[in-house]
Amino acid sequence: MITPPKLPEPLREAMLEEEISLSIGEGLDVKGCHFYGEEMPALSGETLEFSGCHFEKCAFSLTGAEHLVFVDCVLDKCDLGAARFEKSTFQRVAFRGCRMSGAVFSQTPLMNVSFENCLLDLAVFSESKAQHVLFSDCGMKECSFARFRWQDWVLRSCVTRRAEIHETALKGLDVTSCDIEGWLVEIPALRGMIVTQEQGIQLASLLGLVVRPSAPAGNHTS
């Protein structure tokens, strides 16, 4: 069960670059702001925390950030393509309709985070810890999950073709509503994963099996 973000009311209309400059100068968190059509400025080793903020149609490059924290935030229709979130933290965050192709979430705690109708092709989730994370109706072709530690991970109606999954246990993960064609995954990791019969046949190729249709009943040679 995912706890959604809680935004304060009312939010304050703000300029992202101004708020960041103020935050860095005074050592304060960025709180209770609504940012529309803003672009994240280039950063140089800063640590920033955004709390109770709504980002709408914003663009993130995040070049040079040392550590970013998002708590109780919503990101609507934002452009996070190739954004880098190494060693950042997300807690009670909702991504909605965002373009996130090639985004990097490395060594990044994800707690009560949802990705809904997002484009996440080629995104990287490596050495990250996830608790109560939902991917719903997302494009996730060629995503990479390496040493991904999770508790309550939900994949719902996602296209995950050719995903690469390494050193990540999948026991209890239900992928029955997803497209998992061409997964690259170690066989032991699949133990206990929940799949459809058709998906089971797809995954049989990882064992080197060639699955043929059953002969019609009564059509046996003696």
Task: For 35-48, write each residue's pLDDT tens digit.
Answer: 999 998 877 777 89
Cα(50)–Cα(29) distance, integer angstroms: 6
Q: What is the mean pLDDT of residues 104-127?
A: 97
Run of H or E residues at 24: helix 16-26
What is the CATH classification number for the domain harbouring 24?
2.160.20
Domain-located, residue 182:
no
Query: What value does the mean pLDDT take over residues 199-216?
Result: 78
Cα gap 146→168, rounded to integer Å: 6
Structural domain of 143:
12-167
Determine which helix (DSSP H) or strand (DSSP E) holds 165, and give its type and residue range. Answer: strand 164-166
Average pLDDT over residues 47-67: 87
Please indicate, yes or no, if residue 44 is contained in any of the structural domains: yes
Q: Are 170 and 193 in contact (CB under 8 A)?
A: yes
Residue 192 lies in a domain: no
Total number of domains constituting the chain: 1
Query: In 3D, which of 38, 35, 28, 31 has the Cα closest to residue 8?
Result: 31
Nearest to 174 by CA among 150, 148, 194: 194
Q: How confident is the model at residue 196 (pLDDT cuts 50, 70, 90)?
A: very high
Tokens of 98: 């965002």
Question: Would 213 be classed as within a structural domain?
Answer: no
**Hey, what amino acid is at 175?**
V
Q: Which two tokens stand for residue 198?
A: 């058709």
